[in-house]
Chain A
């Protein structure tokens, strides 16, 4: 315990050196945390909008110009052409396609009105799990609707109220849908009813297919296959969303880890070097300590403890800064997807790994440099100026 006292004293007195060492740890650890958490947050936030509604690919037909009429068919802010619902049955025969769920999404000014097939409960614009009040739709439902909770509150809608979009509907369920869900609408109604009431009278038509593939690895291949098979169609996948949101800044978690580990190694070397020069500066002191009866292990302990303390401080500050940076990165470049910040989670595992690397670097740097120092014969250490 005795060397601990002196280690703390040395750290406090050698502020500059300590600051340099700690800064090294902070840079490495905060970079690690920033990269890994941002990469992870980025991955999640591009996957969630699709995954949360159980789909991998959104298929639609793009319209070059806004169609005539007061409203329009939309796909996530894009205008789109309606297409024949039977196409989706054909799509279900494509290899690796598990299901293709029909959606008819229509917008009138700021309002989004969506027709769904309520028999699809795993992949859909709104899932039964989103119900917070009332019930989900059934295939037999007529002029009844699910409304979004925020919209309901703004308009004082409760179960049994009437909501109007091309026709009047009775509210039978209130749904809570996250802003990151790209299918978020104000009103959801049974698909055949929507096809009936819209002024365009799109009977038998939909404007979107939500497609689920057999495995995540098949998504891109299937999307390309679909576009090839139906040349007028267009697909939207998680990585397309990511590109829209992040442009070229794309790094996945594996890359983030590689960069971070490389940085951590550099930090360890940097710290060892820095500690070694500390030891060189202090060789004479080590000689004095040995001359007055300090053992090698006393000397080693003192220097090792110093490094470990620096590693701990650096690790803690690095974790904190990394978290702040990661949040900042995602909030600036992730704004596009909306609420990207929500995907930054304080992952205790990443934080502990970051902290652990910092500690281990401290120990390695400390032991290595102090071992060098302790080998000196006292008189040789003393002779240095």
Chain B
């Protein structure tokens, strides 16, 4: 059965002007097709453009050239309002720095993603609690981020990304600030979503253990994608 490409990226570029040093091509003419349900992992040295690429795919940033088609929608052709819907409904983002709102409790951090939907207050509450329970944080719902461990914070961030049931998960070094055990747990949760609900995952990570979950590895250098992976890219042996 042929699977369609949920992400299609063609000739995508992002150029930053860097004062007198000229221009930096953070993403350079990248072409990429991701079939629905794939768990794609991107590796690459610091500054190679991985974050920039993920941001462009998720519609958080505007490209200098080329296009991104998400689930049949070409991002550059969307109005701001339609783009908001894409960010809300099609993609879920998980960042290395967790990016939780520090003044909100774990529960509120999840609810906030449901706020712009037409769910009732009760429904939002129940869905958020349910999500937190699914990652074992039912008891921590009313704690502020500072009162949670790094792994717990990242689990909150993951269920926040899951909140609107996006078909695509974009993970930018989600385990970068976590120890191996917690990092493994985070990737396992994403893998489960990938296996059970067929969510497409694009993960940027150096964690060696990602090999147990991923079904495609790409390597990025100087804004370009390659399918050959240098072995030393992994932080630790599998």
Bound form: Cα–Cα A10–B115 in Å? 15
Q: Which listed residue (B60, B93, B115) contacts A2, Cβ 8 A?
A: B115
* In the complex, chain B residues whose CB is within 8 Å of the CB of A284: 99
One digit per residue, 1 when the CB lies within 8 angstroms of any chain A CB and 0 when it does not, for chain B 193-227 equals 00000000000000000000000000000000000
**B115, A298: Cβ atoms under 8 Å?**
yes
A interface SS class: helix
A356 at the interface (CB under 8 A from B): no
In chain B, what residue has the closest Cβ to A298?
B116
Q: Which residue in chain B gives the minimum CB-CB distance to A385?
A: B97
A182 in the interface (beta carbon within 8 A) = no
Q: Which residue of B lies closest to A13 (CB)?
A: B103
Q: How far is the CA of A378 from the CA of B60 in the complex (A)?
A: 5
CB <8 Å contact, B88 and A292:
yes
Q: Is the CB of B84 within 8 A of A292?
A: no
Could you tell me if B112 and A289 are in contact, using CB atoms closer than 8 angstroms? yes
What's the least CB distance linking B106 to chain A, in Å? 14
Q: Which residues of A contact B160 (CB under 8 A)?
A: 292
Residue of A nearest to B160 (CB): A292
Structural contact, A293 and B62, CB atoms closer than 8 A: no
Question: In the complex the two chains form, is B84's CB within 8 Å of A293's CB?
Answer: yes
Beta-carbon contacts of A362-385 to B below 8 Å, as 1s and 0s?
000000000000000111001000
Cα distance, A14 to B108, chains bound together (Å)? 16
B140 at the interface (CB under 8 A from A): no
Name B93's contact: one of A3, A292, A296 (CB within 8 Å): A292
Q: Is B61 an interface residue (CB 8 A)?
A: yes
Bound Cα distance from A382 to B55, whole angstroms: 11
Q: B89 at interface (Cβ–Cβ under 8 A)? A: yes
Across-interface contacts of A10 in B (CB, < 8 A): 103
A379 to B62, CA, bound (A): 9
Contacts A6-B112, A296-B80 known; A291 to B61 CB distance under 8 Å?
no
Total contacting residues, chain A, CB less than 8 A: 25
B30 at the interface (CB under 8 A from A): no
Q: Known: A292-B87, A292-B160, A293-B88. Is A2-B116 also a contact (CB below 8 A)?
A: yes
Query: Which residues of chain B in 151-182 are interfacial with respect to chain A, using CB atoms and an 8 Å cutoff?
Result: 160-161, 163-164
Is B81's CB within 8 Å of the partner chain A?
A: yes
Inter-chain contact A290/B87, CB cutoff 8 Å:
yes
Whether the Cβ atoms of B103 and A377 lie closer than 8 Å is no
Whether A3 contacts B115 by the Cβ 8 Å rule is yes
**A293 contacts B80, CB within 8 Å?**
no
B116 / chain A contacts, CB cutoff of 8 Å: 2, 293-295, 298
CB pair A292 B60 closer than 8 Å = no
Q: Which A residues lie within 8 Å of B101 (CB)?
A: 285, 288-289
283-314 of chain A: CB within 8 A of chain B: 284-285, 287-296, 298
Give Cα distance in the complex from A294 to B80, angstroms: 11
Of all A-B residue pairs in the complex, the 8 with the closest CB atoms, nearest first, are A293-B88, A379-B61, A13-B103, A295-B84, A378-B60, A379-B60, A2-B115, A292-B113
Residue positions of A touching B, CB distance < 8 A: 2-3, 5-6, 9-10, 13-14, 284-285, 287-296, 298, 377-379, 382
List B residues at the A interface (Cβ < 8 Å): 55, 58, 60-62, 80-81, 84-85, 87-89, 93, 95, 99-101, 103-104, 108, 112-113, 115-116, 121, 160-161, 163-164
Question: 6 additional contacts, CB 8 Å, given A292-B88, A293-B113, A379-B60?
Answer: A10-B103, A290-B87, A291-B93, A296-B80, A378-B87, A382-B99
